[in-house]
Amino acid sequence: MHIWVDADACPVVIKEVLFRAAERCQVMVTLVANQPLRIPKSKFISTLQVMKGFDVADNEIVARARAGDLVITSDIPLSADVLAKGALALTPRGEQYTDDNIKSRLTMRDFMDTLRASGIESGGPPALSQADRQAFANKLDTILAKAARQKS
């Protein structure tokens, strides 16, 4: 399993959880972003800087992700694309996108885009809470433990 991180929008506290998991589980984590990122020295953690532009990082993640990989992102269309390739998708809030829930999430996203385009203010998501961080860490541990069992 390789973990790909849509790093431009990923909260620092979530990256720190991923860095610890990379070392603990000896799994590769690659942060994909359109700007330079600071990461700890580790043979399990790397960055991939892409050109600036709409969906450039997302497209790079889709191109590189393989079945069984894990993608960390809040981007619903990116999640749909990697799910179609057999990868897993997990939000920084610990919500896992699946084949069962991705279509309804895409529909809701499109609906909210339509509302915003018509001038209705919908606001953004709430700030990442401690409960969100814990939910992410717990779900990540579950996914990594399952991958380790399948590997052995």
Predicted TM-score (pTM) of this structure: 0.88
Check residue 124 and give its pLDDT.
67
**Average pLDDT over the chain, rounded to whole?**
91
Check residue 1 and give its pLDDT.
95
pLDDT in tens, 10-53: 999 999 999 999 999 999 999 999 999 999 999 999 999 999 98
Alpha-carbon distance 115 to 89, whole Å? 26
Check residue 120 and give its pLDDT.
75
Check residue 122 and give its pLDDT.
67
Contacts of 34 (CB under 8 A, 6+ apart): 8, 49, 50, 51, 52, 53, 56, 57
What CA–CA distances, in Å, run from 101 to 4, 7, 44, 106, 121?
A: 21, 23, 31, 9, 25
The proportion of the chain whose per-residue pLDDT surpasses 70, expressed as a percent, equals 95
**Mean pLDDT for the stretch of residues 115-143:** 86
